[in-house]
Structure 1
Amino acid sequence: MDTIRAMRTFIRAVELGSLSAVAREFATTQPTISKIIAGLEAQMGARLLTRTTTALVRTEQGERFYVRARHLVEAYDEAKADVRGLIERPEGRLRIAAPVSFGVLHLNALVLEFMASYPRIEVDVTLNDRFIDLAAEGVDVALRIGGELPPDAVARRIARYARTVVAAPAYIHAHPRIRRPEDLAKHTYLRFAWLTQGDALTLEHRDGRQTTVITQARYRINNSLAIRESLLAGAGIGLAPDWLVADLLARGKLQRVLPAWHASPHELFVLYPPRQYQPLRARLFIEYLTTRLAADTPGGAPG
């Protein structure tokens, strides 16, 4: 039995969730794929997948084997490429995860540009705001903005984004002027839901002074793109990072309120599993992100 081939088949069955989809990808038949999976399960002495009428589901043993199988296959591919002298030919499938809003506004265009430079690399992007387990979900590279970093991944800070209070010109002209942070309490405030500090907003002046204001947040949203659209519609004022609104500020669609004051910056991290053999495609993408995002970040800096 070709164990490497069997592991590849199992890995793709997990990722595609369908034996017929694997058969199409490998240009073979579904019975052949089923036979390969059955042979692997016999070799392992355990059931790896359970088949329902609608999907394939990993068993507990299959979950553990999937993580190790991916690492083994990637290490094998890297070793084979090294022996053949092909280490400088980036190819294969790259799996990326990122927050939804950042992915839509920034990552998507960067990935397309990256793929144009490396036509032999295939990319799977998952946009999700929840924290993910890189190893368990088979992710090569993940992006995370702020928050606690997982202990089982390598994290590199690649950009830092300023956060300031912004509003649409129409809102600013239609409401009392904001001269100092305390005035924010009298205005309609838009904020991200589930903030640990609640409605409290802490700002720092460029001279180092700090103050905290209790805002009146009538509208709380759990998606940054919705906050962006609400600010643009003149629904209120809000604290926003430059990665979310820099283009709107540049076009005059939004304006900074109290420009001498700012909140703690957003830090963008790239995360990847601590592997001994990291695929070349992942290394190239990490370096590409580090260079591009640091260069495109106003006032940003790589970690």
Structure 2
Amino acid sequence: MDSLQSMRLFTRAVELGSFSAVAREENTSQPTVSKMIAALERYLKVRLLERTTTSLTLTEEGKRFYERSKRIVEEYADAVTDARGQTHMVVGALRINAPVGLGELRLNALILEFLAKYREIEIELILNDRVIDLVEEGVDMAIRLGDELPPNVIARNIAFSPRVLVATREYVERAPKINKPEDLAQHEYFRFAGLTFGNRLEFSNNTENVIVLTKGRFRVNSSLALRECFLEGKGLGSAPAWLVQDLIDTGDLIRLLPNWEMLPQQM
């Protein structure tokens, strides 16, 4: 087994969200990618990924292994580049467009970290929640959420974020019990406006898939506003982890139905 190659395919599967996406990137077959990662799991004697027909989810062991594997793969790539004499000074200006919530909660910090490493780069981050014409507005690259894009764009998946169901503890204590996905029908559900799947949610665990139709009288086209809706404690909703994980960590929100997985958000 080529351990380094297996680690590289594993990290890309985590980042792209599927074996098929990795296969397309590597110009190989999905079964080949799946077999190599399965061989890695057998070698390590741990399960790194939980697989469903629609998503990949890291196990606790997988999360730890991913963080270290990513560093090793990146170090190896840097070493190869350096040995081949391909290291060049990175210079220039870059205009990036991204959604407001993602920019404020995640990208700002990542870009500042990037700028600290590459001193000759300038970045202008343009935040809005509409799909822009990159050429018309002079933008070099855009980060989009979800899998629907305008026709004729050149794009690739760079990451995915698990989607979680959340509410305040106070809401959970006074509202009808939520023990299974079907219980959501009894609750006020806040959601992002314009989602292609609308009020239809799909849940899966190790044994079954469940589709639930939610009910809610309010939709909003701002992820930051949706975050505030959850904190008001008047209902519940689902969101990508990048939007609410800090609130879960502080206890302001709690995750509901943790044994059920939802379709992740692609980027």
SS at match of 1:113: helix
Deviations 1:69-96 (A, max 9, x none): xxxxxxxxxxxxxxxxxx8232221111
Q: How does 1:19-38 map to 2 (within 5 A)?
A: none
Using the TM superposition, give the Cα deviation of residue 241 of structure 1 relative to its aligned residue in structure 2, in angstroms: 1.0
**Shift in alpha-carbon separation, 1:236–1:128, aligned structure 2, 3 A:** same
User: TM-score normalized by structure 2?
Assistant: 0.63
Deviations 1:127-150 (A, max 9, x none): 122122223322222111113234
Separation (CA, whole Å) in 1 of partners of 2:101 and 2:92: 27
Separation (CA, whole Å) in 2 of partners of 1:109 and 1:232: 23
**Shift in alpha-carbon separation, 1:129–1:159, aligned structure 2, 3 A:** same
Separation (CA, whole Å) in 2 of partners of 1:207 and 1:137: 46
- Answering whether residue 161 of structure 2 is matched by residue 161 of structure 1, we say yes
Using the TM superposition, give the Cα deviation of residue 108 of structure 1 relative to its aligned residue in structure 2, in angstroms: 0.9
- Answering whether residue 229 of structure 2 is matched by residue 230 of structure 1, we say yes
Q: One-letter code of the match for 2:183?
A: D
Residue 147 of structure 2 aligns with which residue?
A: 147
Residue 134 of structure 1 aligns with which residue?
A: 134
Residue 83 of structure 2 aligns with which residue?
A: none
- Answering whether residue 265 of structure 2 is matched by residue 254 of structure 1, we say no
Contact 1:203 1:261 in 2 (8 A): no
Residue 198 of structure 2 aligns with which residue?
A: 198
Contact 2:181 2:203 in 1 (8 A): no
Unaligned runs of 5+ in 1: 1-86, 269-303
Q: One-letter code of the match for 2:94?
A: L
Using the TM superposition, give the Cα deviation of residue 152 of structure 1 relative to its aligned residue in structure 2, in angstroms: 4.0
Separation (CA, whole Å) in 2 of partners of 1:180 and 1:153: 40
Q: One-letter code of the match for 1:256?
A: R
Unaligned runs of 5+ in 2: 1-86
SS at match of 1:247: helix
SS at match of 2:263: strand
Using the TM superposition, give the Cα deviation of residue 208 of structure 1 relative to its aligned residue in structure 2, in angstroms: 4.5
Deviations 1:172-201 (A, max 9, x none): 1121211111211111111111233332x3
Using the TM superposition, give the Cα deviation of residue 232 of structure 1 relative to its aligned residue in structure 2, in angstroms: 1.7
Using the TM superposition, give the Cα deviation of residue 113 of structure 1 relative to its aligned residue in structure 2, in angstroms: 1.6
User: TM-score normalized by structure 1?
Assistant: 0.56
- Percent identity of the aligned residues? 49
Give RMSD over aligned pairs: 1.8
Separation (CA, whole Å) in 1 of partners of 2:117 and 2:96: 17
Separation (CA, whole Å) in 2 of partners of 1:181 and 1:221: 23
Residue 93 of structure 1 aligns with which residue?
A: 93
**Shift in alpha-carbon separation, 1:196–1:158, aligned structure 2, 3 A:** closer
**Shift in alpha-carbon separation, 1:196–1:151, aligned structure 2, 3 A:** closer
Contact 1:191 1:220 in 2 (8 A): yes
Contact 1:164 1:261 in 2 (8 A): no
Separation (CA, whole Å) in 1 of partners of 2:217 and 2:151: 36
**Shift in alpha-carbon separation, 1:128–1:119, aligned structure 2, 3 A:** same
Separation (CA, whole Å) in 2 of partners of 1:160 and 1:208: 23
Using the TM superposition, give the Cα deviation of residue 101 of structure 1 relative to its aligned residue in structure 2, in angstroms: 0.8
**Shift in alpha-carbon separation, 1:197–1:266, aligned structure 2, 3 A:** closer
Residue 78 of structure 1 aligns with which residue?
A: none
- Answering whether residue 184 of structure 2 is matched by residue 184 of structure 1, we say yes
Separation (CA, whole Å) in 2 of partners of 1:204 and 1:184: 12
Q: Which has the larger radius of gyration?
A: 1
Q: One-letter code of the match for 1:242?
A: A
Deviations 1:53-76 (A, max 9, x none): xxxxxxxxxxxxxxxxxxxxxxxx
Contact 1:202 1:210 in 2 (8 A): no
Separation (CA, whole Å) in 2 of partners of 1:195 and 1:153: 20
Q: How does 1:281-300 map to 2 (within 5 A)?
A: none
Separation (CA, whole Å) in 2 of partners of 1:109 and 1:249: 19
Residue 42 of structure 2 aligns with which residue?
A: none
Contact 1:162 1:241 in 2 (8 A): yes
Q: One-letter code of the match for 2:177?
A: R
Aligned length: 181
Contact 2:147 2:266 in 1 (8 A): no
Higher strand share goes to which structure?
A: 1
Residue 243 of structure 1 aligns with which residue?
A: 242
